[in-house]
A and B are shown apart, each in its own frame.
Chain A
Amino acid sequence: MSHHVVPVSTYVKVFVTLIVLLILTVAVSYVDFGDVSEQMADGITAKTAVAVKVNGLNLLIALVIATAKAVVIVLFFMQLKYSSPLHRSFAISGVVFVAILFTITFADYVVRGEWDAFPMEAPAAVPVESEAD
């Protein structure tokens, strides 16, 4: 096989990087990146406040670190760094398709109103049949 042999030391370094990133992931999850406590007074704003917090900086940072781990695994453990551009385009195509899925479908969901049968303010009564919208 013509693909070159990667030294074991490289793999070990990558592994150490992954462990460091894992510890970082956990540490960062404890840090509060958004202060929305003053908006907790009334119900509707509470939902928005929590949404902003959860879907805001904490999530972004967690995803960035996870992506960094994934990139490192793909480049070194899956040897994409040493592969031909053809291999790389095959690998990236998966990401491209998922990006299309997320973008277009999310664009639909964020502009809808209440699309679910279990809206936030509903009482915890009998489970309703969810109607396919």
Chain B
Amino acid sequence: MTNETHHEHPPHLAHHFDDPQQQFDAASLGMWVFLTTEVMFFGGALFAYAVYRYSYPAAFIEGSLHLCQGAGMVLGFVNTLFLLCSSLTMVLAVHAAQTNQRERTFKMLMATIVLGTIFLGVKAYEYSVKFEHHLVPTAAFQLEEVLAEPKFVPEGTVDPRHVRIFMSFYFGMTGLHALHMLIGIPILGILAWRTRKGDYSSEYFTPVEMVGLYWHFVDIIWVFLYPLLYLIR
């Protein structure tokens, strides 16, 4: 390994690495460290949610029912479905890059972008519905009659201020998640463009795999957020 001249290493191999495998491993470990920081990022928010849910369980049930009133139940479920599909298309994109299928890589990346954008669109619609129902935790917050009959939350045991706290968590956590997707989608766009240019092959597709790791992580966050916010009964 130490006797190579400058011309013998693959073009994508940076000089401070011995071989492409080491370079890939370094990138991968770096991405996992970043994802660990992200786990702590959301972990803090989830912990705060846990403390408040432990303290005001009825209010959290009430808030969750408000999230699911009308089309909310279907929207939440369908959004989760879209995100899981985007995870599949993302991993298929990585697989296509790994097996040197440039056109397919491009198509799968575009599919991931489309599904991610649909997710954000549905989210935006959900937010607008919350605005209409006065559920946004500002001074204009107003708790109206819950349309879905809560089975065991009797009249008067729920303080609207606690439901407002739940809505703060809803907007905070899903907003943070949506921000992550908003950052990820243009990055996927850049990947798609570079795939079109022919920058990636089975020799070097590290960026595709790394963004894939990020995207799957964002999906995992939603997998936890969905039951914790939408399915409290």
Contacts and interface: CB of A to CB of B under 8 A. Distances in A.
Interface of A: 1-2, 5-6, 8, 11-12, 15, 18-19, 22, 25-26, 29-30, 32, 36-37, 40, 43, 46-47, 50-51, 53-55, 58, 62-63, 65-66, 69-70, 73-74, 76-78, 83-84, 86-87, 90-91, 93-95, 97-98, 101-102, 105-106, 109-110, 116, 118, 120, 122, 124, 127
Contacts, number: 168
A6 B98 CA distance: 10
Given A62-B231, A78-B216, A122-B159, A11 B88 contact: yes
B119 to A, nearest CB: 14
Nearest to B162: A118
A5 B95 contact: yes
B39 A26 contact: no
Nearest to B227: A62
A76 B162 CA distance: 39
Interface of B is mostly: helix
Interface in B53-102: 53-58, 60-61, 77, 80-81, 84-85, 87-88, 90-92, 95, 98-99
Contacts of A118: 159, 161-162, 165
B51 A109 contact: yes
A106 to B, nearest CB: 7
A44 B60 CA distance: 17
Given A73-B87, A78-B216, A106-B50, A97 B39 contact: yes
B61 A50 contact: yes
B91 A29 contact: no
Interface of A is mostly: helix
B54 A51 contact: yes
B182 interface: no
A110 to B, nearest CB: 8
A65 B152 contact: no
A90 B36 contact: yes
B35 interface: yes
Given A25-B226, A51-B54, A53-B57, 6 more contacts: A11-B91, A22-B80, A66-B224, A87-B32, A90-B36, A102-B43
Interface of B: 20-21, 24-25, 28-29, 32-33, 35-40, 43-44, 46-47, 50-51, 53-58, 60-61, 77, 80-81, 84-85, 87-88, 90-92, 95, 98-99, 151-154, 157, 159-162, 165, 202, 205, 212-213, 216-217, 219-220, 223-224, 226-228, 231-233
In the complex, the 6 A-B pairs of residues with the closest C-beta atoms, listed nearest first: A94-B39, A94-B36, A54-B57, A98-B43, A29-B231, A90-B32
Nearest to B232: A54
A127 B84 contact: no
B95 A127 contact: no
Nearest to A55: B54
A69 B92 CA distance: 18
Contact of A93 (B36, B57, B77, B223): B36
Nearest to B95: A8
B32 A91 contact: yes
A50 B57 contact: yes
Nearest to B221: A70
Nearest to B151: A32
Nearest to A88: B32
Given A5-B98, A54-B53, A54-B60, A105 B152 contact: no
Contacts of A30: 233
